[in-house]
Structure 1
Amino acid sequence: MATHSELRDFWEHRLEGDWTESGVGYRALGRPFNSWMYKVREEVFLREIGRLGLGGASVLDVGSGTGFYVGLWDRLGAGEVTGCDMTDAAVERLRGRFPRHRFVRQDASELDAFGRADFDVASCMDVLFHITDDDRYASAFVQLGRVVRPGGTLIISENCLQRPEQRGEHQVNRTLETITAVADKAGFDIVHRVPMLMLMNAQVDASLPWRKVWGAFLRAVTLTGPTGWLAGAALYQVDRRLVRGRTESPTTELLVLERREDD
């Protein structure tokens, strides 16, 4: 498993060379497919977070990457939006893309640039499962609990496994039980959980045969840019309907957590 320094170097190099959806997404499937995948993420985020009535809220977006979710916060009418990322490559480009927002280089587990209860809302999207060290993972939740005001909201995406945990060099897929316990210890209650994707991502919470078959299929249909675009366009129409009709997902889910008043 990579060290924290190695992970930072990995993401620095990756985003320096590919500051697009494929750089922050499922890189093996190519940019055309990832562009369609992110359209589903966009629809889910805007629909689910739009229902929370967070217009005018002060927001911290942790692990901003390309600024995809910063742009969605703007569309939702958020107030002041602050972003951070562990890489210089992302922060420098984010400052140019969103000149009216503040961006700093900060790791999710070390948010010392921000004060206690500085924000009404924090989002940490497609980030936490890339923290492979368990202590740093817990620290990220503690830091998010520190910067979000009591009664405030945390929005994350996670792979909430109901099968055994899966560990890789750059990603750890933890169980829903573990995620819930770590969040609870940091002062958060999960109040809402919905699928963010269904078929357009690795099937990490499915049976091993299905994971292998579907993964091989996705890699095969995305071997070229044109076929990846066509596969993405077709699966986009399926996934955007499936995420509305399911309560569980074999892959990434969106979670809304509330910061408890008494912690």
Structure 2
Amino acid sequence: MATHSELRDFWEHRLEGDWTESGVGYRALGRPFNSWMYRVREEVFLREVGQLDLRGASVLDAGSGTGFYVRLWERLGAGDVTGCDMTDAAVERLRGRFPNHRFVRQDVSELDAFEDAGFDAASCMDVLFHITDDDRYAAAFRSLGRVVRPGGTLVISENCLQRPEQRGEHQVNRTLETISTLADKAGFDIVRRVPMLMLMNAQVDASLPWRKAWGGFLRAATVTAPTGWLAGALLYRVDRKLVRGRRESPTTELLVLRRREED
């Protein structure tokens, strides 16, 4: 398993060379497919977070990457958006893309650049499962709990396995029990958990035969840019319906959490 320094170097190199949806997404499936996948992510985020009254809110987007969710916070009417990323490659480009917002190089497991209870809301999207060190993973929840004000909102995406944990070099898929326990210890209650994707991503919480079969199909379907675009366009129509009709997902889910009021 990669060390924290190795992970940072991995993402620095990856985002420096590919600052697009495929750079931050499922790279093996190519940019055309990822572009369709992110349309589903966008619809789910806007639908779920749009239910909250966060207009004019002060927001932290931790692990901003390309700024995809920074732009969605803008669309939802956030008053002030601050972003951070562990890589210089992302921070420098984010500052150019969003000159009216503040961006700093900061790891989500630290967040010491920010004041206690300094934000009404925070998001940490498609980041946490890339933290392979368990201590840093727990520290990320504590850091987010420190910077979000009591009564504030945290929005994350996670894989929430109800099967055994899966550990890889650059990703760890943790159990729903682990995630819920650490969120609780950091002062958060899970308000809502919904599918963010269904078929357009690795089926990490499905049986091994299905995971391998579907993964092989996706890689074959996206072997060229044109076929990847077509596969994405077709699955987009399916996934955007499935995420509305299902309560749980075999892949990435969106969680809305509320920071408990202090005693």
**TM-score tier (shorter):** over 0.9
Matches within 5 A, 1:70-109: 70-109=70-109
The alpha-carbon deviation at position 262 of structure 1 amounts to 2.3
Identity of aligned residues (%): 87
Amino acid at match of 1:211: R
Instruction: Give secondary structure in 1 for the equivalent of 2:229.
Output: helix
The one-letter amino acid of 1:164's match is P
CA–CA separation in structure 2 for the residues paired with 1:262 and 1:150: 6
**1:72 aligned partner, one-letter code:** L
- Residue deviations 1:58-102, cap 9 Å, x none? 000000000000000000000100000000000000000000000
The Cα of 1:53 is off from its aligned counterpart by 1.6
The TM-score with structure 1 as length reference comes to: 0.99
Show the 5 A alignment for 1:33-112: 33-112=33-112
State the one-letter code of the partner of 1:23. Answer: G
RMSD value, Cα? 0.5
Return the alpha-carbon distance in structure 2 between the equivalents of residues 8 and 14 of structure 1.
Answer: 10
Whole-angstrom CA distance in 2 between matches of 1:123 and 1:166: 24
The 1-side partners of 2:262 and 2:70 are apart by 30
Q: Give the 3-state SS of the residue equivalent to 1:241 in structure 2.
A: helix
Segments of 4+ moved more than 4 angstroms: none
Q: Letter of the 2:79 partner, please give it.
A: G
Superposition map of 1:168-183 within 5 A: 168-183=168-183
Aligned residue type for 2:161: L
Q: Partner letter of residue 258 of structure 1?
A: R
Please show how residues 1-263 of structure 1 align to structure 2 within 5 Å. 1-262=1-262
Aligned counterparts of 1:66 and 1:262: Cα–Cα separation in 2: 34
Deviation digits for residues 183-217 of structure 1, max 9, x if unmatched? 00111111100000000000000000000000000
Aligned residues: 263
Letter in 2 for 1:64: S
Query: Cα distance, 1:16 vs. partner?
Result: 0.1
Letter of the 1:97 counterpart? R
Distance 2:248 2:123 in 1: 21
Ranges in structure 1 where 5+ consecutive residues have no aligned partner: none
Distance across 1 between alignment mates of 2:53 and 2:179: 25
Which one-letter code corresponds to 2:210 in the other structure? W
What TM-score, normalized to structure 2? Answer: 0.99
